[in-house]
Amino acid sequence: MTSARRPGTADASTLHTLLRLRRWARPHRRAITVMFVAATGAMLSQAVIPLVTGAVVDGPIRERDTAGLWALSGLALLFGVAESALFFVRRWAMASAALGVETDLRRDLFAHVQRLPVSFHDRWASGQLLSRLTTDLSTLRRFIGLAAVFMVADLLTIAVMLALLIHIHLLLGLVVLVSMVPLLIGTRRFELRYSRDARRAQDLTGDVATAVEESALGIRVIKAFGRRPHVLAGFTRDVTRLRGAELTKIRTLGYFWALLEGLPQLVLAVVTIGGVYATAHGSLSVGDLVAFVSLFLQLVWPIIMLGWLLALTEESASACRRIFEVLDTEPTILDPARPATAENGTALRFENVSFRFADAQDDVLAGVDLDIAPGETMALVGAVGSGKTTMTALVPRLYDVTGGRITIGGVDVRDLRLDQLRHAVTTAFEDATLFSASVRENLTLGRAGITEDDVREAVEVARADFVHELPFGLDTRIGEQGLSLSGGQRQRLALARAVLGRPRVLVLDDPLSALDVQTEAQVEAALRRVLAGTTALVVAHRASTVLLADRVALLADGRIAAVGTHRELLETTPAYRRLLAQSAELEEVSP
């Protein structure tokens, strides 16, 4: 699995990329405006104080005017108080705006990831999605709360200070202005390099997240095979690579910072000498010299801050690109433009169905034809990797067929609204996934209109009565953060989940493999009774499962090679006999 990247998104400029956040910023525009005004106001209040200091030197101090001193001190105090009040307002507005945008974007990104088809998830490592939904979004929050507002306020302050310096002394002010040229060149080079460094570090963070997730999910295998040192070595490699990427980032930032810190010191020496010279020759008053030097010293901080802000901006643009790579991926499995009315028929038909996975060379299915009559249970057998699971996944449109069509009650599944289709067809997969929630929530999955009786019946059909013995019955929390269940118990819950609400079509991917033959027979009998009108396609690996079906279809070479009752196929189809001969139960069940 890779972190698929879209070149178009990746190449967009920093500004263009960040401006795409407007959509999420719009609902919070009031707080964002307050944030901008307060931040700019605070920085300008701070900038004005040196001018007051200059006025104190040239006025009250030179004139020995104590009354004037009080007035100017009061003014300086006023600006100081205004600065701290505006600082508080900015922090308050910032928290509200930044957290608001982060929450909205996180929700939309999650919703989009849910809408994307299974084929997308096949290609993307889960850690890459995880890091986008967590670390990248936190970077964006810091950008909205800090970098965006301070970048504007900072640039404005630098511009105002430069104007004030030029106003105090034209020549010295121009010297400071010209010194900005190497700064601009350095900034451009920094942006390009840092953007690349930040992207690499973010991608590697995603790889580390994937490694942590996979090792947590596979902890049993790792321990059972004593592969801890091997896994640790792989993880150490990943985190060392991440450390290297972070160090490269810091190095790039370090060079830029050296320029930001060093250049102003050089310029300070020049303007101080020039300023003293100008004062000595009478073209600058002592007060103006004090104001000029104090202003220049104050300019150093916004310039240094620019480095930090640019770093965060580039990092945020890179995080933003990573997020838009996902958001720009169009869902391919969608509701039809003109949905058919949901039919009541339950016949399930595969008509010349072919299917190829994206990026694969060959078709997995190549012209599958299969008719399953209403209420019939069809077992699907085939060699390992012959495409049985793939066939079951096509019915609820987890993937779309690449040729032919699948119909339910005569209606192409692609002509049904997705919610209607997935209400009509339910599935139990081979690996029974449970969520960190109560048993009841795991069964209903939030589906509407399911009564307590439905739940009880589903539990009974799936022979999942063990749930009543759990500490809190149906309210017991299970799944990753709850009680652990055995493989057979998990399978029975997955089956109960599938039969809940009496679907019209039931697709089961070897759902009874972890059950003993006797329980399997009981489950099948209950299924038949309760789901009499339900059409079922059941992937079977065991002869015992096959026997419980009305008919059996043999999948070979991407086609249905034979259909008939178990007995018929045993008599007429050598490939079927060979396949079932691999099943240990054959001796017990063959005639």
For position 385 contacting ligand ATP by CB under 6 A, the verdict is: yes
d(CA 443, CA 438): 9
d(CA 312, CA 198): 9
The stretch among 149-157, 172-180, 385-393, 480-488 that binds ligand ATP (CB under 6 A) is 385-393
Residue 395 CB, nearest approach to ligand ATP (Å): 13
**DSSP reduced 3-state for 225:** coil
d(CA 184, CA 200): 25
For position 302 contacting ligand ATP by CB under 6 A, the verdict is: no
Residue 549 CB, nearest approach to ligand ATP (Å): 17
**DSSP reduced 3-state for 447:** coil
By CB under 6 A, the residues from 343 to 362 that bind ligand ATP are 357, 360
User: In which residue are the tokens 């493999």 written?
Assistant: 513
For position 390 contacting ligand ATP by CB under 6 A, the verdict is: yes
d(CA 466, CA 473): 9
Residue 555 CB, nearest approach to ligand ATP (Å): 7
For position 199 contacting ligand ATP by CB under 6 A, the verdict is: no
For ligand ATP, the closer CB: 15 or 360? 360
- Angle of helix 228-280 relative to helix 170-178, nearest 10 degrees, comes to 160
d(CA 269, CA 179): 12
Which residue is at the shortest CB distance from ligand ATP?
389
Token pair recorded at residue 228? 């801890």
Residues sharing a CB contact under 8 Å with residue 362, sequence separation 6 or more, in sequence order: 356
DSSP 569-589: HHHH-HHHHHHHHTSTTHHHH
Per rule CB under 6 A, count of chain residues that contact ligand ATP: 12
Categorise residue 73: left if φ over 0, alpha if ψ from -120 to 50, beta otherwise.
alpha
Among 164, 299, 348, 364, binds ligand ATP (CB under 6 A): 364
Read off the DSSP letter of residue 483. B
For position 384 contacting ligand ATP by CB under 6 A, the verdict is: yes
Token pair recorded at residue 141? 């929050």
Residue 115 CB, nearest approach to ligand ATP (Å): 18
The stretch among 99-107, 154-162, 379-387, 451-459 that binds ligand ATP (CB under 6 A) is 379-387
For position 122 contacting ligand ATP by CB under 6 A, the verdict is: yes
For ligand ATP, the closer CB: 526 or 556? 556
For position 386 contacting ligand ATP by CB under 6 A, the verdict is: yes
d(CA 338, CA 327): 25
Residue 466 CB, nearest approach to ligand ATP (Å): 26
Residue 565 CB, nearest approach to ligand ATP (Å): 22
For position 308 contacting ligand ATP by CB under 6 A, the verdict is: no
Residue 236 CB, nearest approach to ligand ATP (Å): 30
- Please give the single-letter amino acid code of residue 177: L
For position 388 contacting ligand ATP by CB under 6 A, the verdict is: yes
d(CA 222, CA 515): 26
For ligand ATP, the closer CB: 465 or 557? 557
Residue 147 CB, nearest approach to ligand ATP (Å): 40
What backbone torsions phi and psi does residue 368 show, to the nearest 5 degrees?
A: -85, 125
Residue 329 CB, nearest approach to ligand ATP (Å): 16
Residues of the shown chain interacting with ligand ATP in the complex, contacts defined by CB under 6 A:
122, 357, 360, 364, 382, 384-390
